[in-house]
Amino acid sequence: MKAFKKFTGLVAPLDKPNVDTDQIIPKQFLKAIVRSGLGAGLFYDWRSKPDNSDFVLNQPRFKGASVLVARANFGCGSSREHAVWALDDFGFKAVIAPSFADIFRNNSLKNGFLPIVLTAEQVDHIFKAVAREEGYSLHIDLSAQTVSDESGWSARFEIEPFQKKCLLEGLDEIALTLHHEKEIGAYEAKHPVPYPRA
């Protein structure tokens, strides 16, 4: 996994709750057998809808955004990791929302992509700041667990220490698990495969 480094990025506002993974990456892009190139499918149906030039990612002022801000329960629905791959490939490095669906959150953390939970009030503050100020950017620092802007506003977010360490160091989780080979082997020895031999 790539390591997560602190950065400052343009914020794109997606003012919707319950953004599901079917919207983030529609089904026709799930036929891929590689992880790369999925940015072309990001929010495809919304981006490609006729007369949808006002959709956030169709607006020139949000071109190059690397922070997405959305409302509660972002990433609900299907377990498709393609949703994270598409956001990442499009250029996003983090999503900020008041809450995330569990599987989307897990998938993000496996890809060096940061799901940041802030309170509904803090998220609202960001939406208002984006509306007010063209080019509004946020500085995201995982070590310090903070989101901040140039005006001095900042908010702290929580993340489990294990996940923080994995992200900061870009750890290969499988290699980490294989350090426990002895324990896994011992567990297997005590718990035989429950199926009759074919």
Partner 1 sequence: MAAQTLFEKIWNSHVVQQEAGQPALLFIDLHLIHEVTSPQAFEGLRTAGRKVRAIERTFATLDHNIPTTDRSLPITDPESARQLEAMRQNCRDFGVLLFDLGAREQGIVHIIGPELGLTQPGMTIVCGDSHTSTHGAFGALAFGVGTSEVEHVLATQCLWQARPKTLEIRVNGKLGAGVTAKDLILAIIGKIGTAGATGCAIEYRGPTIEAFSMEERMTVCNMSIEAGARAGMISPDRTTVEYLRGRPYVPKGAEFERMAERWLGLATDSGARFDRNVAIDAASIAPQVTWGTNPGMVVEVTSRVPDPQKYADPAEQRAAEQALAYMGLKPSTPITDIKIDRVFIGSCTNGRLSDLQAAAAMVGGRKVAPSVHAMVVPGSQQVKLDAEAAGLDKIFKAAGFEWRESGCSMCLGMNPDVLKPGERCASTSNRNFEGRQGKGGRTHLVSPAMAAAAAIEGHFVDVRNWR
The span from the CA of 145 to the CA of 17, in Å, is 24
Closest CB to partner 1 among 103 and 168?
103
Instruction: State how far the alpha carbon of 73 is from the alpha carbons of 18, 39, 98, 175, in Å.
Output: 5, 22, 7, 31
- Which tokens hold the place of 155? 């908010």
The span from the CA of 96 to the CA of 148, in Å, is 12
Closest CB to partner 1 among 10 and 166?
166
Restricting to residues 123-162, which ones interact with partner 1 according to CB under 8 A? Answer: 160-162
The span from the CA of 98 to the CA of 13, in Å, is 13
Closest approach, Cβ 48 to partner 1, in A, equals 9
Q: What is the 3-state secondary structure (H, E, C) of 146-192?
A: EEECCCCCEEECCCCHHHHHHHHHCCCHHHHHHCCHHHHHHHHHHCC
Alpha helices for 55-112 (secondary structure H): 82-90, 102-109
Binding status of residue 93 toward partner 1 by CB under 8 A:
no
User: Near partner 1 by CB under 8 A, which window of 2-10, 53-61, 66-74, 138-146?
Assistant: 66-74
Binding status of residue 77 toward partner 1 by CB under 8 A:
yes
Binding status of residue 84 toward partner 1 by CB under 8 A:
yes
Strand partners, 100: 74
Closest approach, Cβ 129 to partner 1, in A, equals 18
Binding status of residue 16 toward partner 1 by CB under 8 A:
yes
Report the residue from 4, 71, 114, 117 that binds partner 1 according to the rule CB under 8 A.
Answer: 71
Restricting to residues 172-191, which ones interact with partner 1 according to CB under 8 A? Answer: 172-174, 177-178, 180, 183-184, 187-188, 191
Binding status of residue 35 toward partner 1 by CB under 8 A:
yes
Closest approach, Cβ 146 to partner 1, in A, equals 22
Chain position carrying tokens 């199926």: 195
Q: Which helix (H) or strand (E) holds 13?
A: strand 7-14
Is residue 87 classed as helix, strand or coil in its secondary structure? helix
The residues binding partner 1 (CB under 8 A) are 16-18, 20, 22-23, 26-28, 30-35, 45, 71-73, 76-81, 84, 99, 101-103, 106-107, 110-111, 160-162, 172-174, 177-178, 180, 183-184, 187-188, 191, 193-196
